[in-house]
Amino acid sequence: MTHAGSVETAAGKGYFDMSGKVVLITGGSRGLGYAMAKGFASLGADLVITSRDAASCERVAEEIVAMGRRALARPCHVGKWPEIDALVDDAYAAFEHLDVLINNAGISPVAPSSLETSEELIDKVIDVNFKGPFRLMARIGSRMVERRSGCIINVTSTAAIRPLPQFAAYAGAKGGLNILTHAFALEYGPDVRVNAIMCGPFWTDISKAWREEADKTSDAALKRIGRPEEIVTTALYLASDHSSFTTGAVIEVAGGIR
């Protein structure tokens, strides 16, 4: 199994060369975002690492710098547009351009029932999983269009097409993000590509309450849940110039989940 940090050897830098590219990853300090950050850095990219935890952003940025790349640690709550606008301004001030935006940050609180779901919970879920990516795509994507180059990757969820009552709001928000992916691809084409990775369950900190049981009892084709490093090459493919005819796509990475 390929692990984050060994992508260059496994994939071949000829196809996935990220030298000179600057990548902004939300939720980049842990889980899928962290694995992608290390994978992109291993292939020459510089990184903007953002999440709500400043200390975690700094830790990951230090790891990226130790790999010989540049990195900006910039905490941000992606559910709040003023913070997003400040993040974008600081990222461009530091690097002058952004080549890849990865909207990875998300929250998926479980609700006991629809009746007991509060307006506050709905607002939080929509803010982080839908409104935040919308604003980031609008702010960064429009500048990519001006530069006539760029790639946006949205990390969504199979919950969007296989919803359950416990996370209906999350499923709705991720379904909306799938739709936004296609809408922004149409708006920003032909120079900027916009795609999505629709993930199944993964072994991350967020899933620690249920990951072991899900890993043992999975009815997916691969009979387990995913590991963070297993998303990296899909993101690299979508960010690579070699995927130049892929836009508006939603690629499922879910181990053959039912």
Q: pLDDT per residue over 208-244, tens digit each?
A: 666 778 788 898 889 998 899 999 999 999 999 999 9
- CA distances to 39, 124, 143, 175, 219 from 119, rounded to whole Å, are 38, 9, 34, 19, 34
* Those residues with Cβ within 8 angstroms of residue 199's Cβ, 6 or more apart along the chain or in another chain: 32, 155, 156, 157, 158, 226, 231, 253, 254
Active site annotation includes 170: yes
CB 125 within 8 A of CB 59: no
**Calpha distance 23→75 (Å, rounded):** 15
What confidence tens digit (pLDDT) does each residue in 134-177 have? 999 999 999 999 999 999 999 999 999 999 898 999 999 999 99
* Threshold 0.85, pTM exceeds: yes
Selecting among 15, 34, 92, 170, the annotated active-site residue is 170
CA distances in angstroms from 121 to 59, 72, 219, listed in the order given: 30, 31, 30
**Which residues make beta-bridge pairs with 53?**
none
Report yes or no: 97 and 22 within 8 Å, Cβ to Cβ: yes
From the list 197, 191, 182, 203, the residue with the least C-alpha distance to 142 is 191
Give the architecture-level CATH label for domain 7-253: 3-Layer(aba) Sandwich (3.40)
Q: Please, which pLDDT band fits residue 254 given cuts at 50, 70 and 90?
A: very high
